[in-house]
């Protein structure tokens, strides 16, 4: 367990200037995570899990919330609603079993908050953590119709390599935003926002991971 990551938390600004809280996911977040899942629309669930799904099982809730913060790191974007925490976005990465330099990532943002920068913020923080932990490459299986995910990656300036099979794109990229994107983000980001960390100067030519992010 990496205690520093287990306690990770920060405030962040969305594109419209409103503030949200980003923190590490905890073992006591199971009910909040299930509520977040139920707030996802049909397409959002399909994009996240590559198929239809009605609930997260007890085993999945344990897997998604009881993390070691070494191989498996998870963050949540939170807002306060009626005095209670409400998840509006969840992001995570899981390192390959045989290569800690490679990790598969996943994002899910509730429909009402999509397009406001929640997913982009979660990716920024996941990349910052991953780079500090020695991860050099992110990858994921993404439905070809999930253009919002590709838009997030493009907005962050990542160089994405792709292989498509049966409507599913296996995308991978080094955790290294393009220099001009970093410069633009640094000059235009709202007060309190931090710039991305640039790491991994080359795209690793490794075989795709066999285990997906569940």
164 found inside a domain: no
Cα 38 to chain centroid distance, Å, stands at: 18
**Distance from C-alpha of 201 to C-alpha of 159, rounded to nearest angstrom:** 11
DSSP 167: T
pLDDT by residue (tens digit) across 17-26?
Answer: 989 999 999 9
61 found inside a domain: yes
**Distance from C-alpha of 196 to C-alpha of 178, rounded to nearest angstrom:** 10
pTM comes to: 0.76
Q: Is residue 160 within 8 Å of residue 171, measured between CB atoms?
A: yes
134 found inside a domain: yes
Phi (first) and psi of residue 67, to 5 degrees:
-105, 155
123 found inside a domain: yes
Q: Is residue 213 within 8 Å of residue 104, measured between CB atoms?
A: yes
195 found inside a domain: no
CATH code assigned at 103: 3.40.630.30
Q: Based on the structure, what is the number of domains in the chain?
A: 1
| Pick from 95, 96, 90, 157: nearest CA to 125 | 90
Residue 195 confidence (pLDDT) above 70: no
Strand partners, 156: none
- What local confidence, expressed as pLDDT, does residue 64 receive? 96
- N residues, the chain: 214
Pairing mode of beta strands 137-143, 99-109 = parallel
Handedness of CA 56, 103, 44, 142 (dihedral sign): negative
Residue 174 confidence (pLDDT) above 80: yes
3-state secondary structure labels for all residues of 57-68: CHHHHHHHHCCC
pLDDT by residue (tens digit) across 134-170?
Answer: 999 998 888 888 888 888 777 777 767 777 777 888 8
147 found inside a domain: no
**Domain containing residue 46:** 3-138
199 found inside a domain: no
144 found inside a domain: no
Residue 167 zone, left/alpha/beta (φ > 0; ψ -120 to 50; rest): left
């Amino acid at each position: 367990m990496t205690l520093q990551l287990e306690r990770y938390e920060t405030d962040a600004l969305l594109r419209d200037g409103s503030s949200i809280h980003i923190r590490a996911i905890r073992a006591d977040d199971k009910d909040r995570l299930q509520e977040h899942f139920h707030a996802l629309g049909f397409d959002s669930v399909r994009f996240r899990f590559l198929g239809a799904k009605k609930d997260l099982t007890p085993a999945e809730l344990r897997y998604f919330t009881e993390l070691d913060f070494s191989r498996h790191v998870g963050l949540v974007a939170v807002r306060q609603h009626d005095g209670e925490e409400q998840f509006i976005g969840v992001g995570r990465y899981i390192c390959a079993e045989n290569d800690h330099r490679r990790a598969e990532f996943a994002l899910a943002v509730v429909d009402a908050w999509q397009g406001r920068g929640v997913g982009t913020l979660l990716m920024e923080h996941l990349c910052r953590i991953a780079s500090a932990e020695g991860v050099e490459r992110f990858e994921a299986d993404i439905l070809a119709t999930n253009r919002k995910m590709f838009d997030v990656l493009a907005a962050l300036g990542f160089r994405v390599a792709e292989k498509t099979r049966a409507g599913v794109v296996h995308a991978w990229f080094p955790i290294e935003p393009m220099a001009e994107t970093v410069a633009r983000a640094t000059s235009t980001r709202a007060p309190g926002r931090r710039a991305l960390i640039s790491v991994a100067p080359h795209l690793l030519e490794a075989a795709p991971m066999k285990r997906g992010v569940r």
